[in-house]
Structure 1
Amino acid sequence: MVGERVVDRLPDNWRWIVTTRAAVVLALLVALLSVATGIYNIDQEAADFGPVASHVPLAVQEAVGFTGALTGFLMVGSALALRRRLRAGWWATLLLLPLTAVQGLLQASPYSLPLVVLSVCTLPTLLLTRRQFDRSLSLTTTQLAAGGALVGVQAYGTFGAYALREDFDGIEHLLDAFYFTLITSSTVGYGDIGPETEEAMLFTMSVVVLGVASFGIAIGALVGPAIQARISKTLGKMTDSELELLDNHVVVLGYGDLTEPIVNELHEADVQFVVVTDDESAATELSDRDIRVLTANPSDEEPLRRVRMEDARAVLVATDNDAEDALAVLTARQLRPNIRIVTAATDRQNTRKLKRAGADDVISLAELGGHLLVRSALGKDESPVVSRLLESE
C-alpha cells in the first residue's frame, strides 16, 4: 500500500507520533463518544431521535443506546491494547469501529453525528498503522483455562435455564436465561426470576457454585498477573513467571553508558536478553521500553540464578567501572564455568585482569577506537592492524 510505504519512510520517533499515537488517540475518542452518546440516548423517547427515527424499528431504537455504551467500553479496552501495540487490539478496534458508526446512525440523533464521522475517519489511520501493532498477546495455559471456564459456566447456565424455563418464574426467552445466569453467578440476585420446582432449585444452586468459582478463578488468573506485572514494571523488576520463560538468552550484567548501545543492538536484533543492574532509575527506564530487567547487584549469585544463568547462551559485561565488571565476570564464571563471557575494558591496562577474572574476550575500547579511526582514514585494506583485527573477529 502507498500509505504504508510513506509511513515506513518516516523516522521511528515521528512514525510513533504521527501514526501510532494518532490511532490510539482517535480510538480512545471514539470510545468516549460512544459511551457518552449511548448513555444519553438510553433515556430518550423515539420522537426525540429526529426524522431518521421513522425508518428505524422501535426495538432497535430502544437497544442502540445500551449497545452503544457497551461498545464504547469495549473500545476503551481495545484502545488500551493499541497503546501497548498489541496485534489483538488492532483487530478488535478494526471490528468495533464499523459497529460504533452503525450504532451512531441507528441512534438517529444529532449528538451521534460526531461519533459516525470520527469512526469513519479513524479507519484509514488504523489501516495505515497496521504494521506498527506487531506485538502478540501471550496468554498462559492457566489464563486460557480460566477464560474458558467462565464462558462455559455462562453457557451452561443460559442454555440450562432456557431448557428449564417452565420451572422458572420469569424466563421466557434466551435473553432472560442469560440475564438470570449472569445475575445469579455473580451473586447479585435481584430476585425477579426464581425457581419454582426442586429441579430448578438444584440447577440454580449449581449455577451459583460454578459461577462464583469461575468468576474467582478468572479474576485471579486474568487480572492478577496484569496487576503484578504493572507493579513489577513500576519497580523495575521481573516477575517469577517471566523469569521462568527465559531460555537460550543473553545476560547483560550491569548498566551504564557503554551498555546502552549493546541493549539497543540486542533489542533491534530481537534477541532474548535480560539486564541485571542495581540502578533503580535505569531499571525503570528499561522497563518502560519493554526490556527485561532485574533490579539487583550483578555481582551477587542469587540474582544470576534468578535470571536462569544455567540456560543462558552468553554473558555481556560493559559498564564504566572495570572493577565492578571484574566482580560480575568472576561471579558469572563461578556459576557457569562453560558459558561465553565477553566484556569491555575502559582502561587498556585492565584487559589482562578481566581475562584472569574469567572473561573469554575483552575488548579494549581505546585500542578499538584507534583501529576504527585508522580504518576510516586509510581504508579497510590499507591498514594491516585493522585487517588483523577484522580477521580475528
Structure 2
Amino acid sequence: MRARKPDHHLTLHRKGSTPPWLSLLLRVGLAFALIGVALGIFWFDRAGLRDNSDGAVSFADVVYFTIITITSVGYGDIVPVSTQARLIDSFLVTPIRLFVWLIFLGTAYDFLLKRVWEKWRMTVIQQKLTGHIVVIGYGTSGSEAVKELIRRGAAPESIVVIDDSQAALDRAKDCGMTVILADATRNASLEAVKIAHAKAVIVAAGRDDTSILIVLTARRVAPSVSISVIIRSADNEPLAHQAGADTVINPASFAGLLLAGSTHGPHIADYMADLAASDGRVSLRERAVTPDEIGRPLAALATGLGVRLYRNGDCHGFWEPEAKALQAGDSLVEIVPRGEPRSDRPVAAA
C-alpha cells in the first residue's frame, strides 16, 4: 500500500452478486426471447388478424404488430378479428407484454435506481459499522491475514479493507469484503470506516514508515482499539510499539524463530506452526478471568492450559509468583484444543 495518493470519495463499496454487463445481457436476451415467442404466436395465428390498410397480413406486418402490441396497446391499423386471435392476445400475449415491461422496469431499477439505492445502503452501513475488522493494505500480508480470518470463521462482510490501489480493492471485493479507496494515514479515512467502533485493526501497508504513521493515526482516532501491525525491520519494532501498536509482527523474525526452534528438536517448530495455523490441533485463546477462577493459580484452568497472565499492563508467565493467584481484571492466554471459541482480542506479541 502506498500513502501518497489523495483520498477519493470516502464511501464503502461491496461487490454485487452478478456483473452489471452480464445482468444487462441476460435481461436483453430474455426480452428478445419473449418477443420472439409472441412473434411466433401471431405468425401462427395470422389468419385471425386483419390489416385495415391493404387487407393482407405479411411477415413484416406481424413483426410490426408484435412490437406495437408488446410495447403499447396498438394503433388499430392491425387488429385481431377472430375469437381465437383475441383469446390468444388476451391469455398468451398479454402475460408476455407484462413480463417484458417488468424486464424494462427491472433494468431501469438495476442501472439507475439501484445505484442510488446501493449508495444510500452503503452509507447506512458505513454509519452503523461496529464490531468489524479493519485491514489496512491488501498486499501479500494483508490478503493472507484476511484469508486466515475467514478460515477462522470471520464473515467477509465484517472485514473492511482500506487501500489506495483500486486493483487491490477489486481483489478484495471479489472475496466479498467491504472496501474503501483512501489514504489510511489521514484521520478522515479512518473515521470513514468507524475505526473507533472496530473490533481490531490490522496494518499491513508494506513499508515500515507508512505502517508506523498509520498506527500513530489510528491510535489517535481510536485510543482503545486493538492494533496489530507488520514491521519488516527489527529496528522499527520499538517505534511501532511507541506509536500505539498492541501487537508487532516481524515476518522475518517469526520465520527465524521457527527455523531456530527446529534445530533444538524436530517437533518444536511443528508445534509453533500448529498454534499459528487455522487448521492446527491447538490454538491460543485470550480471555478475561472469570469470577470463579479468582484466587486460583493460572496452571489450574479448567478450560485449557494457561501459559500467560496480563495484569495492569504487565506480562507474567505461569511459573511466576503473580500467576499463583488470579485476580479480577486479569487477562489470560491459554492453549485450547482446536474448535474452542476464540477471544475477540488478538494475543499480544511475546
- Give 1:40 deviation, angstroms: 5.5
- Give 1:359 deviation, angstroms: 0.5
**51, 59, 68: which is aligned to 2:96?**
68
Match of 2:205 in 1: 319
Match of 2:155 in 1: 270
Deviations 1:338-376 (A, max 9, x none): 111011112233222211111001111012223445678
AA aligned to 2:128 is: L
Structure number with the higher helix fraction is 1
Q: 1-side partners of 2:263 and 2:28: how far apart?
A: 53
- Give 1:60 deviation, angstroms: 3.6
| Identity score, percent | 24
- Give 1:39 deviation, angstroms: 5.0
- Give 1:320 deviation, angstroms: 1.3
Query: Are the counterparts in 2 of residues 31 and 75 from structure 1 also a CA contact under 8 Å?
Result: yes
Match of 1:117 in 2: none
**228, 239, 243: which is aligned to 1:357?**
243
AA aligned to 2:137 is: G
Query: Are the counterparts in 2 of residues 278 and 296 from structure 1 also a CA contact under 8 Å?
Result: yes
Query: Are the counterparts in 1 of residues 204 and 230 from structure 2 also a CA contact under 8 Å?
Result: yes
Q: Secondary structure at the match of 1:248?
A: coil
Query: Are the counterparts in 1 of residues 48 and 84 from structure 2 also a CA contact under 8 Å?
Result: no
- Give 1:75 deviation, angstroms: 6.0
Unaligned runs of 5+ in 1: 1-15, 17-21, 50-55, 85-221, 233-237
Match of 2:292 in 1: none
User: Would the alpha carbon gap of residues 289 and 383 (structure 1) be closer, same or farther in structure 2, given more than 3 Å must change?
Assistant: closer
Whether 1:256 aligns to 2:139 is yes
Q: 2-side partners of 1:62 and 1:292: how far apart?
A: 48
- Give 1:23 deviation, angstroms: 12
Q: Secondary structure at the match of 2:124?
A: helix
Match of 1:243 in 2: 126
Q: Secondary structure at the match of 2:201?
A: strand
Q: 2-side partners of 1:253 and 1:74: how far apart?
A: 42
Query: Are the counterparts in 1 of residues 262 and 269 from structure 2 also a CA contact under 8 Å?
Result: no
Deviations 1:268-287 (A, max 9, x none): 63151212222233334434
Deviations 1:61-104 (A, max 9, x none): 113223224325546888999xx9xxxxxxxxxxxxxxxxxxxx
Match of 1:226 in 2: 115
Query: Are the counterparts in 2 of residues 276 and 298 from structure 1 also a CA contact under 8 Å?
Result: yes
Q: 1-side partners of 2:128 and 2:266: how far apart?
A: 43
Match of 1:6 in 2: none
Q: Secondary structure at the match of 1:258?
A: helix
Q: 2-side partners of 1:225 and 1:27: how far apart?
A: 15
Q: 1-side partners of 2:42 and 2:264: how far apart?
A: 77
Q: Secondary structure at the match of 1:341?
A: strand
User: Would the alpha carbon gap of residues 40 and 377 (structure 1) be closer, same or farther in structure 2, given more than 3 Å must change?
Assistant: farther
Q: Secondary structure at the match of 2:140?
A: coil
User: Would the alpha carbon gap of residues 42 and 385 (structure 1) be closer, same or farther in structure 2, given more than 3 Å must change?
Assistant: closer
User: Would the alpha carbon gap of residues 24 and 281 (structure 1) be closer, same or farther in structure 2, given more than 3 Å must change?
Assistant: closer
Structure number with the higher strand fraction is 2
* Residues matched between the structures, number: 224
Q: Secondary structure at the match of 2:228?
A: strand
Q: Secondary structure at the match of 2:143?
A: helix
User: Would the alpha carbon gap of residues 35 and 380 (structure 1) be closer, same or farther in structure 2, given more than 3 Å must change?
Assistant: farther
Structure of larger gyration radius = 2
- Give 1:302 deviation, angstroms: 1.1
User: Would the alpha carbon gap of residues 266 and 40 (structure 1) be closer, same or farther in structure 2, given more than 3 Å must change?
Assistant: farther
Indicate the structure whose relative CO is greater, using CA pairs within 8 Å and at least 6 residues apart.
2
Unaligned runs of 5+ in 2: 1-16, 50-82, 277-283, 285-332, 334-346
AA aligned to 2:230 is: A
Query: Are the counterparts in 2 of residues 39 and 66 from structure 1 also a CA contact under 8 Å?
Result: no
Give runs of aligned pairs for residues 161-240 of structure 1, distance below 5 A. 224=113, 226-227=115-116, 229=118, 239-240=122-123
Q: 2-side partners of 1:386 and 1:261: how far apart?
A: 18
- Give 1:41 deviation, angstroms: 3.9
Q: 2-side partners of 1:70 and 1:376: how far apart?
A: 71
**Structure 1 length normalisation: TM-score?**
0.45
CA RMSD in angstroms, aligned pairs only: 4.6
- Give 1:44 deviation, angstroms: 6.6
Query: Are the counterparts in 1 of residues 45 and 85 from structure 2 also a CA contact under 8 Å?
Result: no
Match of 1:33 in 2: 33
User: Would the alpha carbon gap of residues 349 and 305 (structure 1) be closer, same or farther in structure 2, given more than 3 Å must change?
Assistant: same
User: Would the alpha carbon gap of residues 352 and 37 (structure 1) be closer, same or farther in structure 2, given more than 3 Å must change?
Assistant: same
Match of 2:190 in 1: 304
User: Would the alpha carbon gap of residues 362 and 312 (structure 1) be closer, same or farther in structure 2, given more than 3 Å must change?
Assistant: same
Q: 2-side partners of 1:347 and 1:385: how far apart?
A: 26
**Structure 2 length normalisation: TM-score?**
0.50
User: Would the alpha carbon gap of residues 228 and 379 (structure 1) be closer, same or farther in structure 2, given more than 3 Å must change?
Assistant: farther
User: Would the alpha carbon gap of residues 65 and 267 (structure 1) be closer, same or farther in structure 2, given more than 3 Å must change?
Assistant: farther
